[in-house]
Structure 1
């Protein structure tokens, strides 16, 4: 029974993909969207069943389908496991995925390729489930590559715009760079442990059944982290994610808020017992996470595209999650993944609601006053903004505070960096809120006439996600963490339970005051002073550096892209010259031989008899010499 239900959980979205991709064109209206939504809802229902079962029995559900490959003392099974970590991930992948599908029915209603959109969404969910459910690194890699493919398809969904195609290619290529590191890490893990199965790897580490070279283990951990950097947009492989906002807004919410970008955190948490043996790599993870959080937050301060602000916010929040991972606080990183999925999905979908009302306009400089006509969108956006800013009692406060508290106790410089990034987060998120929803409308009169609240299929997911963003922190309250207890079977070294003493309360107060400072600065500038960001040509000084994202893309283009293009062009020209010279040379030789040969055909019978006798004599001489 469990095997059949597990396969239903996995293949329901894939069946939805097949039906929509092959039959969707013939379907009318919202039927492709309804089919795609039902497929993911089925997966959510089955996930909920397994979640309740495992919560009760405390035992993982294992589904071993068949032996995939066997080489001497190394074998891989095509198997899945539903334990506490995978089910927690599946809950928000399928749950939030269902809400985003519901939202997309209305958002993509007028698109001529709506059947393809829902087919790609279903395929993405299928690969994400594969990534999470697999019981070994090879199956995880299948899902890992699958979500990379689907992100390419969804980011470039509106393919008639070349900029969107470029963004899709950029995401695909930068992910391949990280994936190469991930693949090398998998090979090294297989060599060291003679297995890719999570349980086998953990057993070898815990029992010490054979010696593991610590140097090679550290190299493997570093390679795996490189893979995580690509998928979860960390320095230096983060620039694809802001450009990925080219895709439809539901894509931004699904891929870049709740699912694909959290794959790196999932992989490191799943292999926590490997990373615990590589403390130097954990230090690198913590430093990269903290620096990424700070840089992305600083860029977000001056962006004017509503989705770009949220994109850099995502990169920054992912940096905080990696900071927690690097400090060995895996449960806290997972906690922030969950709360971030709630409020960031709500923010992205809320931005989509705004863009829908503005008929495609994404520049906040031409918005304003929308809270008067979009009350549901505004209230849900406000709740999620309070959550991401880290104000109590909203979900983001508890998870972000746990990360900063852990950093304070382990590495105070990283705590300072994380705290500054959090203050910046509060500033740019309320900047976004004030520019979009407050003061007077700054768009055109034509836009103003058509402003309206979005339909129910769009606002319903916003309300659900806003409620979760408000109360989601209850799963891991200080001193009473359900989440830590739930994840205990899959985490070998548990995060320290903070005793709520004077220091801890002081840190909480500092975090709250920091958030209020960021909000206060945004209020003073954009409400009291009624400031509106200037046009691009008016931006000067360091603000211009931030607005142009520290010119990282330009640096990458100069140092990497152009040299590769030049090298490719060189070999292309060399190859063309070599091939064309050889081919054309044969043609010229044939022409010369033909031109000379045709002069022999002059009609002289005497010459023909001479050639005949010469040929016969040559044959006789050859035969005589051969004997």
Structure 2
């Protein structure tokens, strides 16, 4: 974890020296970025859940500061506030879970918590279930999973390196780390652990569909992150702890690569985000093209040659063969694989092929190109640290993590069945790439007609709006709360403190009356004061 976080963060910082050059607030940007990375390191290195929570809140604060970095634009400030408020819901649930742990186990030291929980709580106990549910609430909020996922697409308002850091190495994957770190508590609450898998499966499908309809290149990648973290939750939910962290690692590399490649395109086209206003950029921006191609291939789990293939294949295999898995969860992962390759190569084909829609105004600097190259290499080779038996039987990653993460309770799967599952996973990824090429290279007008006529237009409207969650939350929660706040703005607390202010103001006005500027009033005041003073001395 430390190696992944520090490596990815260093390369993003290197990229940022070129991307942010000449921007107002250059020093402030790097101060926030370093604070962000430091908070994530505190979160990961903490052996105590209280210190983990300190890092947890630190990354939340930094996300607010960095998403709203260009604060002069009001929309950026709103996006930052939305991220801060929505994630606070999950953070509150996490805090409640930590209180319950401390009250019942008398410690927050991670190893002691796990040990005492095993001894005191039987599997399925009410306390274990409540605590695991609270921790899941925190993870759902921070990792932008259903139903607290609405903040992530709007978080694209920040600078592109910020998006890369949030999605690849810090905030969004913090929830995955939390569940993996407290895996014993979730093992003691099988219903909650199954809920983790269900949430992951639903989120990866819904986010994949939404990514397919976005026009903003960064919002495509935002929904992509939600979907890929959904795969990690799916793995965690069936007990495939190592598989989830393995995908965490490979995803960090190829998602950072995709965001930084998108940053090159956005900056070169004078802050243009709409993919349909781009086109034909593979020759004018070769570095971005090759980086995006490698990143999209790894995201799509292109067989054998990409890191994403090995990590996603391991998740799908474990979901199939785990005693806690099911055919439905596996099917969700397979459908998600088709959607992933479909939306990933949709961006590649629309942005870098076809007719040229705009002119390149700025070339990427050397630090930006170097970062893209290194991330491209990692997006290919990082998967080779864990390979299945029939493809080399490399277990370097699980050998490193087996001490901290228990093995998966697997059902026996024959070698031929395992090979068949790998072939099926490869075919669905290739199918998505083929369909994407057919729709956006071969017959782009057909894709347009699908989106404009029913039932495609209805699906397009629902998917592009994020399944209407923002509108639903705005209607059900935000609007009534705002109405109540306006109605209750003069409650007894405000009346009390407002009354103190009015009392002080009235006293001040009375004192002002004594300062009339007329001498006779001053003489009378002195005489009256003297009489009172003499009276006190004589009679008291």
Structure 1, unmatched stretches of 5+, are 1-88, 596-611
Aligned position for 1:472:
382
Q: Aligned equivalents of 2:353 and 2:474: distance in 1?
A: 39
Q: Aligned equivalents of 1:339 and 1:495: distance in 2?
A: 24
Aligned position for 1:161:
73
Q: Aligned equivalents of 1:140 and 1:386: distance in 2?
A: 34
**1:286 equivalent in alignment to 2:203:** no
Q: Aligned equivalents of 2:425 and 2:51: distance in 1?
A: 40
Change (3 A) 1:135 1:542: same
SS at match of 1:189: helix
SS at match of 2:313: helix
SS at match of 1:572: coil
Aligned position for 1:459:
369
Aligned position for 1:436:
351
SS at match of 1:288: helix
Equivalent pairs counted in the alignment come to: 509
Q: What is the Cα deviation at residue 471 of structure 1?
A: 1.6
**1:557 equivalent in alignment to 2:474:** yes
Aligned position for 1:272:
183
Q: 1:233·1:261 contact (CA, 8 Å) conserved in 2?
A: yes
**1:404 equivalent in alignment to 2:327:** no
Q: 2:203·2:227 contact (CA, 8 Å) conserved in 1?
A: yes
Q: What is the Cα deviation at residue 493 of structure 1?
A: 4.1
- Picking from 461, 476, 487, the partner of 2:401 is 487
Aligned position for 2:98:
186
Larger CA deviation: 372-381 vs 342-351: 372-381
Higher relative contact order (CA 8 A, sep 6+): 2
SS at match of 1:372: coil
Change (3 A) 1:90 1:342: same
Q: What is the Cα deviation at residue 202 of structure 1?
A: 3.0
Q: Aligned equivalents of 2:12 and 2:489: distance in 1?
A: 45
Q: Aligned equivalents of 2:159 and 2:414: distance in 1?
A: 44
**1:313 equivalent in alignment to 2:219:** no
Q: Aligned equivalents of 1:469 and 1:498: distance in 2?
A: 31
Q: 2:278·2:357 contact (CA, 8 Å) conserved in 1?
A: yes
Q: Aligned equivalents of 1:167 and 1:496: distance in 2?
A: 43
**1:338 equivalent in alignment to 2:338:** no
Give CA deviations for 1:132-157 in whole Å, capped at 9, x if unaligned.
11111001000000010000000000
Q: Aligned equivalents of 1:112 and 1:584: distance in 2?
A: 44
Q: What is the Cα deviation at residue 200 of structure 1?
A: 1.3
Aligned position for 1:24:
none
Under a length normalisation based on structure 1, what TM-score does the superposition of the two structures give?
Answer: 0.76
Give CA deviations for 1:571-615 in whole Å, capped at 9, x if unaligned.
1134566766787699899999x99xxxxxxxxxxxxxxxx9xxx
Q: What is the Cα deviation at residue 189 of structure 1?
A: 1.6
Q: 2:210·2:223 contact (CA, 8 Å) conserved in 1?
A: yes
Q: 1:373·1:451 contact (CA, 8 Å) conserved in 2?
A: no
Change (3 A) 1:589 1:353: closer
Q: 1:343·1:384 contact (CA, 8 Å) conserved in 2?
A: yes
Q: What is the Cα deviation at residue 259 of structure 1?
A: 1.9
Q: 1:380·1:462 contact (CA, 8 Å) conserved in 2?
A: yes
Indicate the RMSD between aligned Cα atoms, in angstroms: 2.9
Larger CA deviation: 519-528 vs 575-584: 575-584
Q: 2:213·2:460 contact (CA, 8 Å) conserved in 1?
A: yes
Change (3 A) 1:516 1:591: closer
Q: What is the Cα deviation at residue 190 of structure 1?
A: 1.6
Aligned position for 1:80:
none
Q: 2:218·2:259 contact (CA, 8 Å) conserved in 1?
A: yes
Give CA deviations for 1:264-289 in whole Å, capped at 9, x if unaligned.
11111111122111111111110011
Give CA deviations for 1:42-92 in whole Å, capped at 9, x if unaligned.
xxxxxxxxxxxxxxxxxxxxxxxxxxxxxxxxxxxxxxxxxxxxxxx1111
Under a length normalisation based on structure 2, what TM-score does the superposition of the two structures give?
Answer: 0.88
Q: 2:123·2:188 contact (CA, 8 Å) conserved in 1?
A: no
- Picking from 18, 34, 37, the partner of 1:106 is 18
**1:204 equivalent in alignment to 2:116:** yes
Aligned position for 1:91:
3
- Picking from 114, 124, 146, the partner of 1:235 is 146
**1:511 equivalent in alignment to 2:428:** no
Q: 2:267·2:362 contact (CA, 8 Å) conserved in 1?
A: no
**1:375 equivalent in alignment to 2:290:** no
**1:414 equivalent in alignment to 2:329:** yes
SS at match of 1:303: coil
Q: 2:123·2:190 contact (CA, 8 Å) conserved in 1?
A: no
Q: Aligned equivalents of 2:287 and 2:506: distance in 1?
A: 77
Q: What is the Cα deviation at residue 191 of structure 1?
A: 2.3
Give CA deviations for 1:463-522 in whole Å, capped at 9, x if unaligned.
111111112111110133211121111123445497561211111111111111111111
SS at match of 2:149: coil
Change (3 A) 1:140 1:590: closer
Aligned position for 2:527:
none
Q: 2:8·2:168 contact (CA, 8 Å) conserved in 1?
A: no
Give CA deviations for 1:396-452 in whole Å, capped at 9, x if unaligned.
111111111222232111111111111011101110100110011112xxx35x364
Q: 1:333·1:403 contact (CA, 8 Å) conserved in 2?
A: yes
**1:174 equivalent in alignment to 2:86:** yes
SS at match of 1:489: coil
Give CA deviations for 1:375-403 in whole Å, capped at 9, x if unaligned.
12211211111111111121111111111
Q: 1:478·1:500 contact (CA, 8 Å) conserved in 2?
A: no
Q: 1:155·1:244 contact (CA, 8 Å) conserved in 2?
A: yes
SS at match of 1:111: coil
Structure 2, unmatched stretches of 5+, are 514-530
